[in-house]
């Protein structure tokens, strides 16, 4: 019999964990909305991300576990884990979590909430209703609001339109923060073909970003973790398209996208006169070509897995445009709040100053985050399922890839969104407890002395739930 490696044991634990976690939500419809494929692609390719560094460097780990639906089939179909598992006694949780919450790495007053995702019952709380700075765990709220407003199948367009004589064309940004050079090249192919069919000569190029309003810069100012928030950008405004994580960005994402597009058109035989300029599409412009983003479900999963700030801000503005709010920071905050209120979530003290969590003005409670996780597993809200499937898997994917050793009790069983600002560290997600019970948790800490100590303490809390 071949020797079984440690990482293979961890992968086996991950398979079981994903299967049991999926059982609690599978009854609502298709559970696998692309995350299994996305996890594999992102783990192998390490595609670019706008997220901050929520983990710490570590040796490469194995590819993530296989698709949970396949495991569910082997187990004989979906099950509700909470209904079959022994009760998780709140007193036991208090005994396990209390001392861990007292770790110096968590600062003076960490808050916590643990719920049974199958029943919604709160099993543990410490300051659970106190509004805290959530950092990137606020992306869970951004994701839920966008999915609620637009639906998981929504795709974001990037369009080219022309004047009647096709002497001027306009590249119209639809707010797709995932637009890359490959998709922009496809748009150039389609545009060049349409212009040839119209026997067009030289064209002027205009770029239209009017979908969004307000300041381009995030209130934190120029920052390598996020580009200026524009309705038109390519490669998230990165000066080096091959870069990942924090990276230098252009101050004019729309202008850069238009310049790249003009070069692509000329390579395809289209003469572009002058330099691209900002403007608005003509009222009676004729559609020439269009490309669409991946479905919103896939975009949400990518955003949560990698903690992508650019995508998060675009999703907040997509929510604003879908609900009739102004597509600026304030309007996006109102739109997100409105969608979460429609989902009947506890919003006392909540504030959404941005979609990414980079703002310290964001405030939510641990009880809010666990309620949102529970709502995302509710059979009445299958549109929210990507909120759960997009969470990084401990020790395997995204911002948790390097935070759990293969021997950790939480490896493969914890799925959680990380949050990191200077002095602020948070973790919110799901974990399969002994017996298969699926729990939702949120741990929020402020005034933390160091990122490493805080992350270690948070990971021990989540791993304790897995025990």
Choose among 149, 203, 158, 164: nearest CA to 182: 158
Query: Got the DSSP string for 107-167?
Result: -S--EEEEEETTT--EEEEESTTS-B--GGGGHHHHHHHHHHHH-TT---EEEEEE-TTSS
Q: Residue 453: how many CB atoms within 10 A of its CB?
A: 16
The pairing of beta strand 168-172 with beta strand 157-162: antiparallel
- For the ranges 312-316, 354-358, 409-413, 446-450, the lowest mean pLDDT is seen at 409-413
| DSSP assignments along 168-214, one per residue | EEEEE----TT--HHHHHHHHHHHHHHHHHTT--SBEEEEE-TTS-S
Does residue 250 belong to any structural domain of this protein?
yes
Q: Characterize the bridge pairing of strands 438-446 and 111-116.
A: antiparallel
Q: Which one-letter DSSP state was computed for residue 411? A: T
pLDDT at 14 over 60: no
* Between 18 and 169, residue with greater pLDDT: 169
Note if 307 is an active site residue.
Answer: yes
Domain check: are 304 and 322 in the same one? yes
Residue 63 lies in a domain: yes
pLDDT at position 294 is 98
Per-residue pLDDT reduced to its tens digit, 318-338: 999 999 999 999 999 999 999
Q: Is 273 a catalytic residue?
A: no
Q: Are residues 145 and 168 in the same domain?
A: no
Q: Which of 136, 359, 365, 463 is catalytic?
A: 136
Catalytic residue among 306, 307, 376, 409: 307
pLDDT digits (tens, 9 = 90+) for 111-132: 999 999 988 899 999 999 999 9
On the 0-12 / 13-18 / 19+ scale of CB atoms within 10 A, 239 is exposed
**97 and 187 assigned to the same domain:** no
The pLDDT confidence band at residue 54, using thresholds 50, 70 and 90, is low
Please check whether residues 380 and 460 belong to one and the same domain: yes
**Contact present, 289 and 190 (Cβ < 8 Å):** yes
- Taking the C-alpha atoms of residue 342 and residue 360, their distance in angstroms, rounded to an integer, is 25
Do 215 and 66 belong together in one domain? no
**Residue finishing a domain among 293, 309, 336:** 293
- Domain limits for position 167: 157-293
Is 313 domain-assigned? yes
Catalytic residue among 33, 67, 139, 293: 139
pLDDT at residue 213, as a whole number: 95
Query: What mean pLDDT is predicted for residues 201-229?
Result: 94
Across all residues in the chain, what is the average pLDDT? Answer: 85
Q: Which residues of 121-141 are buried (b: 16+ CB within 10 A; e: fewer)?
A: ebbbbbbbeebbbbbbbbbbb
268 and 348 part of one domain: no
Same domain, yes or no: 283 and 406: no
Mean pLDDT of 345-358: 97
Query: What digits encode the pLDDT tens for the residues 90-118?
Result: 888 999 999 999 999 999 999 999 999 98
**Structural domain contains residue 382:** yes
Is 80 inside a domain boundary?
Answer: yes
pLDDT at 134 over 80: yes
CATH code (residue 246):
3.50.80.20
> Within this chain, do residues 48 and 34 fall inside the same structural domain, yes or no?
yes
On whether the CB atoms of residues 206 and 289 are closer than 8 A, the answer is: no
Please tell me whether residues 173 and 274 are part of one structural domain: yes
For residue 12, being part of any structural domain is answered with yes
How many structural domains are present in the chain?
A: 2
Crossing angle for the helix pair 35-45 and 296-306, to the nearest 10 degrees: 50
Residue 412 belongs to some domain of the structure: yes
Q: Rounded to 5 degrees, what angle do the CA atoms 393, 351, 147 make?
A: 50
Alpha-carbon gap, residue 36 to 131, rounded angstroms? 33
Buried-exposed string 425-436: b where 16+ CB fall within 10 A, e elsewhere: bbbbbbbbbeeb
Residues 306 and 432 reside in one and the same domain: yes
Looking at 239, 272, 293, the residue that finishes a domain is: 293
Is 210 tagged catalytic? no
User: DSSP secondary-structure letter at 73?
Assistant: H
Report the distance separating Cα 111 and Cα 128, nearest Å: 6
* pLDDT interval class at 77 (50, 70, 90): very low
Domain end point (choices 240, 269, 293):
293
Is the CA virtual torsion 295, 225, 217, 290 positive or negative?
A: negative
Q: Would you state the torsion angle of the CA atoms of residues 160, 161, 167, 168, taken in this order, to the nearest 10 degrees?
A: -70
326 and 461 within one domain = yes
pLDDT for the residue numbered 60: 39
Closest Cα to residue 386, out of 463, 315, 442, 310? 315
Q: Is residue 1 part of a domain?
A: no
pTM: 0.85
pLDDT at 79 > cutoff 90: no
Residue 23, domain CATH? 3.40.710.10
Question: Are 169 and 219 members of one domain?
Answer: yes
């Amino acid at each position: 019999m071949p020797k079984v490696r440690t990482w293979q044991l961890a992968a086996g634990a991950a398979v079981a964990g994903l299967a049991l976690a999926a059982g609690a939500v599978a009854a609502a419809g298709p559970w696998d909305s692309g995350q299994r494929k996305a996890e594999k692609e992102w783990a192998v390719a390490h595609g670019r991300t706008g997220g901050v560094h929520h983990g710490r460097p570590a040796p490469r780990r194995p590819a993530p576990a296989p698709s949970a639906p396949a495991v569910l089939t082997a187990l004989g179909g979906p099950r509700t884990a909470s209904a079959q598992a022994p009760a998780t006694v709140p007193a036991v949780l208090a005994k396990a979590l209390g001392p861990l919450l007292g770790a110096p790495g968590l600062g003076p007053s960490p808050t916590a909430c643990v719920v049974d995702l199958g029943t919604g019952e709160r099993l543990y709380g410490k300051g659970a209703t106190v509004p805290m700075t959530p950092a990137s765990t606020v992306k869970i709220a951004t994701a839920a609001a966008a999915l609620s407003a637009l639906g998981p199948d929504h795709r974001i367009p990037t369009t080219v339109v022309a004047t009647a004589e096709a002497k001027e064309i306009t590249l119209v940004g639809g707010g797709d923060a995932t637009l890359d050079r490959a998709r922009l090249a496809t748009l150039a192919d389609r545009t060049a073909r349409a212009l040839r069919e119209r026997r067009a000569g030289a064209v002027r190029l205009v770029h239209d970003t009017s979908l969004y309003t307000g300041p381009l810069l995030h209130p934190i100012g120029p920052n390598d973790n996020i580009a200026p928030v524009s309705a038109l950008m390519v490669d998230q405004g990165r000066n080096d398209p091959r870069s990942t994580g924090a990276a230098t960005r252009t101050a004019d994402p729309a202008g850069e996208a238009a310049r790249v597009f003009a070069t692509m058109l000329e390579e395809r035989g289209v003469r572009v006169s002058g330099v691209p300029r900002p403007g608005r599409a003509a009222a009676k412009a004729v559609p020439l070509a269009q490309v669409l983003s991946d479905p919103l479900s896939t975009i949400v999963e990518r955003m949560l897995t990698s903690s992508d700030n650019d995508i998060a801000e675009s999703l907040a503005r997509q929510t604003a445009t879908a609900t009739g709010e102004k597509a600026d920071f304030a309007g996006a905050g109102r739109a997100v709040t409105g969608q979460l209120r429609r989902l009947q979530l506890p919003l006392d003290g909540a504030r959404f100053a941005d979609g990414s969590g980079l703002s310290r003005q964001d405030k939510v409670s641990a009880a809010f985050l666990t309620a949102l996780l529970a709502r995302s597993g509710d059979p009445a809200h299958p549109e929210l399922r990507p909120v759960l499937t997009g969470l990084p898997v401990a020790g395997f994917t995204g911002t948790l890839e390097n935070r759990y050793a293969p021997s950790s009790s939480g490896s493969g069983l914890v799925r959680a969104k990380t949050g990191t600002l200077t002095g602020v560290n948070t973790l919110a997600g799901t974990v399969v407890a002994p017996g298969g019970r699926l729990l939702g948790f949120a741990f929020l800490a402020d005034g933390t002395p160091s990122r490493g100590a805080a992350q270690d303490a948070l990971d021990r809390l989540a791993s304790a739930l897995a025990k």
